[in-house]
Structure 1
Amino acid sequence: MDENDILARINEFVGEEQRLRERYQRRELSREEEHRRLERLEVALDQCWDLLRRRRARLEAGEDPGEFPGEGEVRPPGEVEGYLQ
């Protein structure tokens, strides 16, 4: 996955987030459903931003961002979300 692919996914997730909020405002979703789906989107967004930052850091260091196995993939939610714990 290259930078353009990652940015496209981020834009998709942001659009989905906006649609969820609009549906909640129109009372098409319960608060619980909106919250549950937004949590999943936030994790997916965090994973994409993490991948983008890692790619950019490798490029800045003069390295190939996809050189090592797994470098071009999102990390598991627990790894991305749990870094402050």
Structure 2
Amino acid sequence: MNAASSAAGENDAILDNINTLVAEERALRERSTEHLGLGADEQARLRSVEVQLDQCWDLLRQRRAKSEFGENPDEAAVRPPDEVEGYQG
């Protein structure tokens, strides 16, 4: 396996994780609207899922940017929640 296909495989794994988290987020949001809110544990889990999604998207963007500019995408790293959550869109 060459470096490009290895990087693509890692990106696919990140995307799979994103898809899993999105499904969980949707389920929690649906449960919220169906039951007029979420319990404290579910609210905490929803917040955790949102943060993890932001971290995954950030990591994927880092990897793609490094690949685009000829750098090693494996040097990309998950950033801390406070850093990722502090981005202005």
Q: Distance in 2 between matches of 1:24 and 1:78?
A: 26
* Cα deviation, residue 33, structure 1: 4.6
Moved more, 21-30 or 46-55: 21-30
Q: Distance in 2 between matches of 1:22 and 1:83?
A: 27
State the TM-score, normalizing by the size of structure 2.
0.73
**Richer in helix (by share):** 2
* Structure 2 residue runs without a partner (length 5+): 1-8
State the TM-score, normalizing by the size of structure 1.
0.76
Q: Which has the higher contact order (CA 8 A, sep 6+)?
A: 1
User: Is 1:81 matched up with 2:85?
Assistant: yes
Match of 1:6 in 2: 14
* Cα deviation, residue 23, structure 1: 2.2
User: Residue 26 and residue 48 in structure 1: after superposition, are their counterparts in 2 closer, same or farther (change >3 A)?
Assistant: same
Superposition RMSD in Å: 2.3
* Structure 1 residue runs without a partner (length 5+): none
Counterparts of 1:1-85 in structure 2, within 5 Å, are 2-27=10-35, 30=38, 32-66=40-74, 68=75, 71=76, 73-84=77-88
- 1:30-75 CA-to-partner distances (Å, cap 9, x unmatched) read 3655443222111100000000000000000011111x4xx2x311
* Cα deviation, residue 21, structure 1: 1.9
Identity, % of aligned pairs? Answer: 51
